[in-house]
A and B are shown apart, each in its own frame.
Chain A
């Protein structure tokens, strides 16, 4: 039995005990999450260690249901105190709060979810054996130093550094519900990032590069990450303020294209749909994208960091189509939203230690197209390649979109000069419908994979001509 196994066993026992305390305090149903987390982060800057941070934390989050006139009422509470006394207090506090909460006839207690069976649990563990992240303070420090050094020495234009950071950690997450389901999984991660600066005084630019993986050995090399940061930063130097205002095609490189998928996912969140807080609330079964758009949610993908066997309510997860041939196939739901929308839960409950249950995807993959990014640019007479988006100008209720941006002018099919100080605006519904190209360059960002996306007819606003 390795260390991770014994930790799992211990936390599962603790979690079962917490549910016992909840029952003793008056809960009819309950479920709980217990998480332990050990991690370290090494920051270096200009070739020297800037800081080492070591964290050792733990917590329990309990959701308890009580019978009340008019139905079931519930509350959630969390604590960092996993002692016997701490768990008892948590149970009592949660019950006291549940008694104040108002009954909700649609509340779904944690019984009878479509849990994975013992065989599925076993298969999953065999398929995803425990591995260590493989780093310690010393090796992480070396990686961070090498990464920064690669960035600083790649191009003469690089004048300063905001530092490099190598982080690694291991956590163990246990979920238990009062219908007897209990399971736990270790989670390991390692990440390496660097950010550098080119130029001086009022003509400075910065950019970064980053990678994240479960096992440090599978990260892109420190050298590759450093070079990417340097290359991105140097290319931006001398950016001028965009002149004029017009409507034109906008190319989102994968790093920023990812945010468009994020806006879609927020809008098909079943709870947002129920609350009428989504511009896609009435779009299920409708064609909201062109025919060539396919988006899937895959909870077991070799490259995804969002793999999971079950969601935050213990519901077994399975791969599903979100967009098929441009049509919206699914609202993401937990059991509550699913019940209200009269469909089975799609297995997208997301649970943290604190607060209520939310909704979130596992690994989301936008199927790539066949054009290289260069080929996409060739189709554009006059447009902008976006490499950075800023601000929060996205209205999820009506889809209005207006964000600050920076990138490169596209003129006669090729990239010419860096530009900044402009906004791009439109409405997400139109933007989705006006996607004209998908690149072949599918790129993974933790749990989202997306290629270059080209959207026609967005409004660009810049400086006076």
Chain B
């Protein structure tokens, strides 16, 4: 079939077969009320000629439907003679970053139920103000087979697990919520064997209670200290998307043509690394069969490279970096991030916090968004504190922080020695496709970000 669809003019062609199964259990009002599952399979055929790509997707595994898809892909992108047939041979993938095992087999349904019930019990026992507990456990197993134009066959079996806890607390007429969660590419029993259940439950309750005492966040520009781990979403939004190959090939990113230029303060090094074992953003091979790698994006403040899929790499004369990803067989490949983080520096976290005369110390965030063309980006705090003279004064309500991607890392004046990766919660959206990603960062100080609070605005 691959042979049938490749015209002689093709620069690339591939077939992507995917079988995916997922399960989810959710607890609400003390009961596991929501149990769901899904099984999906399909095939994506693609032919690329220059800047043009033809894609056809079908979930009917019937020869006729498949041939039609292959022909459709060819008709869209290619003309001319059929290429000489290639022989297919299987290739082992470059990494073994996770066990090729369905995570569902790690824990029986009954055990999963018990685990969720224990979260409900623990959360309610921690504080009488806990009124509602929601907990969910989901797992998926995605088996992909990629057949490339040169006759390679690569296979990757990808487990993914996610635990989430969220609580509603009430005190008087105040109502607040807190949530925590995490996961990665491992089997469900891993959750039971670690302290994840207790840790995330305590975190969710702690955050909800903290929010009950939160004061209005200040409004305006000020220095911000970002805690380690998930605040690395700053990197994902501020610079990560802007360094994806497609935007730079098209010249639509504020980072276009900036390789070799200073885009961050000295001491700032940022990498995208798809090869960290068991991480949510890791893959043995990307969705084009390219081995994932560690790509240095910014080294000591200088822009070094972009994240590439095959098509954009070829058109830009650069190497593919193993960043070609798709949400499923029914989506096109795009250059996407894997695990994006800043390397540790030399500052002690306590010194960084002590340096703050008046500002915000933000340790946890909700989502973020970026406009890669103008460079403006936002991300919203879910746990943050007002700091004066190096001391924490009070927790502040959720506030959106805004900055410009090409400027913010130039304002990083201290980099901590405490690099942490996030707990395994990230999902990244681009062109309507969602893929799991990771972020990470040590504690850093940014000399100025605009904080979108309500306190301090004058009429």
Q: For B174, what are the chain A residues with a Cβ–Cβ distance below 8 Å?
A: 398
A59 contacts the other chain (Cβ, under 8 Å)? yes
Cα–Cα, bound, A106→B221 (Å): 50
Q: Across the interface, name the chain A residue whose C-beta is closest to B402.
A: A404
Interchain CA distance A387-B26 in the complex, whole Å? 38
Does B398 interact with chain A (Cβ within 8 Å)?
yes
| Contact B457 A460, beta carbon cutoff 8 Å | yes
Shortest distance between the CB of B29 and any CB in chain A (Å):
8
Bound CA–CA A51/B49 (angstroms): 10
Judge whether B403 is part of the interface by a CB distance below 8 angstroms. yes
Q: Specify which chain A residues have a CB less than 8 angstroms from the CB of B72 in the assembled complex.
A: 54
Q: Which of B32-40, B150-158, B274-282 contacts A (4 or more CB under 8 A)?
A: B32-40
Check if A423 sits within 8 Å of B402, measured CB to CB.
Answer: yes
Question: In the bound complex, what is the Cα–Cα distance between A204 and B51 (angstroms)?
Answer: 24
The minimal Cβ–Cβ distance linking B372 to chain A, given in whole angstroms, is: 8
* Dominant secondary structure at the B interface: strand
In the complex, A283 has a CB within 8 A of chain B: no
Q: Total number of A-B contacts with CB less than 8 angstroms?
A: 275
Cβ proximity bits A411-427 to B, threshold 8 Å, 1 near / 0 not = 00000000011111111
Across the interface, which residues of B come within 8 angstroms of A307, CB to CB?
Answer: none
- Whole-angstrom distance between the alpha carbons of A74 and B380 in the complex? 37
In the complex, which range does the number of interface residues on chain A fall in? 35 or more
A96 — nearest CB in chain B belongs to which residue?
Answer: B109
Segment at the A interface, from B250-258, B336-344, B436-444: B250-258
Contacts of B404 in A (CB 8 A): 421
Q: How far is the CA of A455 from the CA of B5 in the complex (A)?
A: 57
* Residue from A51, A355, A402, A403 whose CB has the most chain B CB atoms within 10 Å: A402
A residues less than 8 Å from B35 (CB atoms): 74-76, 97-98, 100-101
Nearest CB in chain B: distance from A283 CB, A = 13
Contact mask for chain B residues 319-331; partner A; CB cutoff 8 A; 1 contact, 0 none: 0000000000010
Which of chain B's residues have a CB closer than 8 A to the CB of A58?
59-60
Residue of A nearest to B251 (CB): A160
Known contacts A49-B52, A423-B400: A403-B378 contact under CB 8 Å: yes
Residue-wise, chain B 184-225 has the 8 Å CB interface mask toward A (1 for contact) of 000000000000000000000000000000000101110000
Binds B, one of A239-247, A313-321, A341-349, A434-442: A239-247
- Residues of A contacting B31 in the complex (Cβ-Cβ under 8 angstroms): 102, 104
State whether the Cβ of A275 lies closer than 8 Å to any Cβ in chain B.
yes
Q: Do the beta carbons of B51 and A50 come within 8 Å of each other?
A: yes
A100 to B25, CA, bound (A): 10
B220 and A461: CB pair below 8 A? yes
The 8 Å CB contact of A395, one of B39, B113, B134, B398, is B398
Contact residue among A56, A74, A81 (Cβ-Cβ distance under 8 Å from B69): A56
With A79-B38, A80-B42, A202-B254: A392-B376 Cβ-Cβ less than 8 Å: no
CB neighbours of B251 from chain A (8 A): 160
Q: Are B400 and A404 closer than 8 Å at their CB atoms?
A: yes
> Interface on chain A toward B: helix, strand, loop, or mixed SS?
strand
Specify the chain A residue showing the minimal Cβ separation from B58. A56
A53 contacts B332, CB within 8 Å? yes
Total interface residues on B, CB under 8 Å, equals 87
In the assembled complex, the CB of B98 is this many whole angstroms from the nearest CB of chain A, namely 24
Q: Does A372 contact B (CB under 8 A)?
A: no
Interface status of B316 (Cβ within 8 A of chain A): no
Chain B residues, CB < 8 A from A77: 36-39
One of B69, B332, B369 near A392 (C-beta < 8 A): B369
Asked if residues A205 and B459 are in contact (CB atoms below 8 Å), the reply is: no
Which A residues are CB-close (under 8 A) to B40? 59, 78-80
**B51 shortest CB reach to chain A, Å:** 6
Binds A, one of B84-92, B298-306, B409-417, B445-453: B445-453
Task: Flag if B452 contacts A277 (CB, 8 Å).
Answer: no
Report B1-31 CB contacts with A as 1/0, cut-off 8 Å: 0000000000000000000000111101001
- Asked if A133 is at the interface (CB within 8 A of a chain B CB), the reply is no
Within the complex, the shortest CB–CB distance from A48 to chain B, in Å, comes to 6
The reply to whether the CB of A153 lies closer than 8 angstroms to some CB of chain B is no
On chain A, the residues within 8 Å of B177 by CB distance are 277, 395, 397
- Tell yes or no: A52 within 8 A of B by CB: yes
B128 lies within 8 A of chain A by Cβ: no
Residues of the B chain whose Cβ atoms lie less than 8 Å from the Cβ of A75: 35-37
Q: Verify if A356 is at the interface (C-beta below 8 Å from B).
A: yes
Q: Beyond A79-B39, A390-B378, A462-B220, is A275–B400 a contact (Cβ under 8 Å)?
A: no
Could you tell me if B374 and A420 are in contact, using CB atoms closer than 8 angstroms? Answer: yes
Q: Please name the residue on chain B nearest to A426 by beta carbon.
A: B454
Q: Is A55 an interface residue (CB 8 A)?
A: yes
The answer on a CB contact under 8 Å between A202 and B375 is yes
- In the complex, the answer to whether A50 meets B41 with C-beta atoms within 8 Å is no
In the complex, A333 Cα to B56 Cα: how many Å? Answer: 39
Kindly list chain B residues whose C-beta atoms are within 8 Å of the C-beta of A49.
52, 76
A426 to B201, CA, bound (A): 30
Q: Which residues of B contact A460 (CB under 8 A)?
A: 219, 457
Collect the chain B residues with CB atoms within 8 Å of residue A147's CB. Answer: none
Q: How far is the CA of A5 from the CA of B8 in the complex (A)?
A: 42
Select from chain B the residue with minimum beta-carbon distance to A105. B31
Complex contact A52–B252 (CB within 8 A): no
Mark out the residues of chain A between 365 and 422 whose CB falls within 8 Å of any chain B CB in the assembled complex.
388, 390-393, 395, 397-398, 400, 402-404, 406, 420-422
Q: Known interface pairs A390-B378, A393-B452, A422-B402. Does A356 touch B34 (Cβ–Cβ under 8 Å)?
A: yes
Q: Are B376 and A390 in contact (CB under 8 A)?
A: yes
Residue of B nearest to A391 (CB): B378
Whether A247 and B168, one on each chain, are in contact in the complex, defined by CB atoms closer than 8 angstroms, is no
Complex contact B398–A48 (CB within 8 A): no
Cross-chain contact B367 with A392 (CB below 8 angstroms): yes
* Bound Cα distance A357, B35 (Å): 12
B391 at the interface (CB under 8 A from A): no
CA distance A53 to B77 in the complex (A): 10
In the complex formed, the residue of A with least CB distance to B134 is A275
B146-184 at interface with A (beta carbon < 8 Å): 168, 170, 174-177
List 9 A–B pairs whose Cβ atoms lie within 8 Å, in order of A's numbering: A79-B38, A81-B39, A100-B110, A244-B220, A246-B458, A276-B131, A393-B398, A402-B453, A421-B450
Q: Which residues of B contact A (CB under 8 A)?
A: 23-26, 28, 31-42, 51-60, 65, 69, 72-73, 76-77, 109-110, 113, 131-132, 134, 168, 170, 174-177, 217, 219-221, 250-252, 254, 330, 332, 366-369, 371, 373-380, 397-400, 402-404, 406, 448, 450-459
Which 4 residue pairs across A and B have the least CB separation, nearest first?
A423-B452, A404-B378, A391-B378, A461-B219
Interface residues of A (CB under 8 A from B): 45, 48-59, 74-81, 89-90, 93-94, 97-98, 100-102, 104, 137, 160, 162, 197, 201-202, 204-206, 239, 244-248, 275-277, 279, 281, 353-356, 388, 390-393, 395, 397-398, 400, 402-404, 406, 420-427, 457, 459-464
Known contacts A393-B380, A397-B177, A423-B450, then 13 further A-B pairs from the complex at CB < 8 Å, ordered by chain A residue: A45-B250, A76-B34, A89-B39, A100-B110, A100-B113, A201-B254, A245-B458, A355-B36, A395-B177, A400-B398, A425-B454, A460-B219, A460-B457
